[in-house]
Amino acid sequence: MPPETTMPAGTESAVHVWLILWKATQAVQQNAARSIAAVGLGLSDFAVLEVLLHRGPQPVNIIGKRVFLTSGSITTAIDRLESKKLVRRTTDPQDMRSRIVDLTSRGREVIQRAFRQHALDIEETMAILKPRERTELIRLLKKLGMWAAARLEDV
């Protein structure tokens, strides 16, 4: 006979929590993607420009890590943005092998306008949550994320 898989009343299984989290993430992600597409950018281009807007000039590899792109994909994204004259690459004076990426004035205008609209769209997506609920959700997601990340490091 298989082991008991029912949970005590009022207790949600980890699989159920994961499923709800996954579905919610997909719905929020689709709203974000629609918002970004509406301003004429792809997800990776928006992510790169947003990092540069909020973090300032960054080495290519650091941008890639922040936006979860492989080295080949981040290079392609930077090439694309550079061809549109939204970013520029310069040599890092401390490490001549490294390239620093920065926004051009046109790139800054594009991402500031796009980010303003995106922020409004995401506010509408999150409007269902009261401020205290947002705070609690952030706390719980950080707690879960740090635990899950630590489990990966143990392997």
Q: What's the confidence (pLDDT) of residue 11?
A: 73
pLDDT top residue among 83 and 8:
83
Residue 123 placed within a domain: yes
pLDDT top residue among 96 and 152:
152
Residue 94 placed within a domain: yes
Residue 56 placed within a domain: yes
Structure tokens at 37: 């597409």
Residue 155 placed within a domain: no
pLDDT-derived band at 39, boundaries 50, 70, 90:
confident
Domain that holds residue 28: 19-128
Residue 45 placed within a domain: yes
The residue assigned the tokens 């719905």 is: 27
Q: Each residue of 55-95: pLDDT tens digit? A: 999 999 999 999 999 999 999 999 999 999 999 999 988 88
Q: What's the confidence (pLDDT) of residue 1?
A: 47
Instruction: Work out the percent of the chain whose per-residue pLDDT is above 70.
Output: 93
Total number of domains constituting the chain: 1
Residue 79 placed within a domain: yes
Residue 137: which of 34, 25, 40, 61 has the closest Cα? 25
Read off the DSSP letter of residue 4.
Answer: P
Residue 103 placed within a domain: yes
CATH of the domain at 75: 1.10.10.10
CA gap 101, 59 in Å, rounded: 6
Is the dihedral angle over the CA atoms 136, 49, 22, 151 positive or is it negative?
Answer: negative
HSE-CB of 64 using CA atoms within 13 angstroms:
16
Sheet holding 95-103, edge to edge: 58-59, 95-103, 87-92
Q: What's the confidence (pLDDT) of residue 107?
A: 97
Work out whether strand 87-92 and strand 58-59 pair parallel, antiparallel, or are unpaired.
unpaired
Residue 41 placed within a domain: yes
For residue 105, how many other CB atoms are within 10 A of its CB?
9
Q: Each residue of 102-122: pLDDT tens digit? A: 999 999 999 999 999 999 999
For residue 45, how many other CB atoms are within 10 A of its CB?
22
